[in-house]
Amino acid sequence: MTKQQLKLLACITVAAGTGLAAAPPSVAAGPRMVHPGESIQAAVNAAKPGDVIRIAPGTYRESVLITKPGLTLRGSGSGTVLVPGNRTTKPAKSTKATKATKSTKKAKAAQSCAKQGNGICVLGTASKPVRDVQIRSLALSGFKKNGVWASGTDRLVVQQVVSEKNGTWGIAQEKSVRGVFRHNTVRANGDSGIMIANVVESEGGATDTRGTVVQANRLEANRIGVTLRRVRNLAVIGNEVTGNCGGVFVVGDENKPAAGQMTISGNQIHHNNKSCAATARMPALQGAGIVLTGSQGTLVRSNTIQDNVGKSPYSGGIVLFKSFVGAANSDNAIRDNVVQGNKPADLAGTNTGSGNTFERNRCGASQPTGTC
């Protein structure tokens, strides 16, 4: 393990033990309360940086856009549910004779989140990231695109959220650093349950997420449980990943720096045997546990990976496979894992580059033979 990975794991352990990772901003004001029939977005618009917005149990038919730092959006558990709103509702249009008011502009901005098919959006920019936003204890269901969508954020926390039956991703983040995604249930989404990427609409070298953490989540019945696309310096720890077409994917390409330099540790990854059709950039998918494709310097250790069975190119327990554009895997360490009952193999290292090591894994079958 590199010094950077050791440092990251130590920080995660301390934060989890003390609760510092989830601490609200010190400037937080008293909570605002939203009840069924009231608008969450209106409360967000009226809030000041650092405010806490509490949401009572009930169903809220709206999307919510957050662009202010330090806001906490806290529901009352899975009984606080956000679903898509009425698509016929449109913000007022400005005319040449009248200028749009600030409230109208805010309404239009909020509508953009809904128009794109997202449930909750947290949006900043490269020059002005949105910092210290927390989304806690609520559910999102049935959005055309993503349940939670974040871009340009720093220290975003998404915790104890249920995100299900959304068209693309359950929880997704791009162009962001130091995110914490913990104790969420993410299921039955069209693509990945949790997606961490450098940028989703273009290519480029992997970006440093500066210690993003995906921990203690349950990811089930998605296409892929967790996708880590062109990113570095993060940890995926202690999650249960089951019933997906694929478990955890580390995805890189020919761009530099390569994806990797991350830790995948202590996860339970089993029975990811759902069958998913091929896409433009991926063959049919079934029975994949952990897949490294175009990864460099990733540590995969102390995971339990069992009974992932399929006949796709990515099928197996831990699979190292060249990327879509042919980028090889290099300098990855696979050690101290329990990898059993996976087919066609527990460990599969075909089409790999140099420097990959397999040590002290408990497994039954490997391709090529001799790795177990």
pLDDT of residue 5: 63
Cis peptide before 368 (omega within 30 of 0): yes
Whole-angstrom distance, CA of residue 114 vs CA of residue 169: 15
105 pLDDT above the threshold of 80: no
Residue 98: which residues within 8 A CB-CB, separation 6 or more?
none
Residue 15: enclosing H or E segment and its boundaries? helix 3-18
pLDDT of residue 13: 52
- 127-142 average pLDDT score: 99
pLDDT of residue 93: 39
- 52-75 average pLDDT score: 98
14 pLDDT above the threshold of 50: no
Tokens read off for 37: 């029939």
pLDDT of residue 30: 62
- 224-229 average pLDDT score: 98
Residue 46: which residues within 8 A CB-CB, separation 6 or more?
32
pLDDT digits (tens, 9 = 90+) for 20-42: 444 444 444 567 999 999 999 99
**pTM for the complete prediction?**
0.88
Binned at pLDDT 50, 70 and 90, residue 60 comes out as: very high
Domain 191-372: CATH superfamily is Single-stranded right-handed beta-helix, Pectin lyase-like (2.160.20.10)
164 pLDDT above the threshold of 70: yes
Q: Tell whether the torsion through CA atoms of 275, 279, 284 and 290 is positive or negative.
A: negative
25 vs 240 pLDDT, higher one: 240
Question: Residue 125: is it exposed, middle or buried by C-beta count within 10 angstroms (0-12/13-18/19+)?
Answer: exposed
- Work out the angle at residue 304's Cα, subtended by the Cα atoms of residues 303 and 307, and round it to the nearest 5 degrees: 140
What rounded mean pLDDT belongs to the chain? 89
pLDDT of residue 255: 80
pLDDT digits (tens, 9 = 90+) for 319-329: 999 877 778 89
Mapped onto helix, strand or coil, the DSSP state of residue 298 is coil
- 327-349 average pLDDT score: 96
- For residue 256, give the nearest of 302, 206, 210 by alpha carbon: 206
48 pLDDT above the threshold of 80: yes
pLDDT digits (tens, 9 = 90+) for 170-214: 999 999 999 999 999 999 999 999 999 999 988 888 999 999 999
Tokens read off for 330: 């290099």
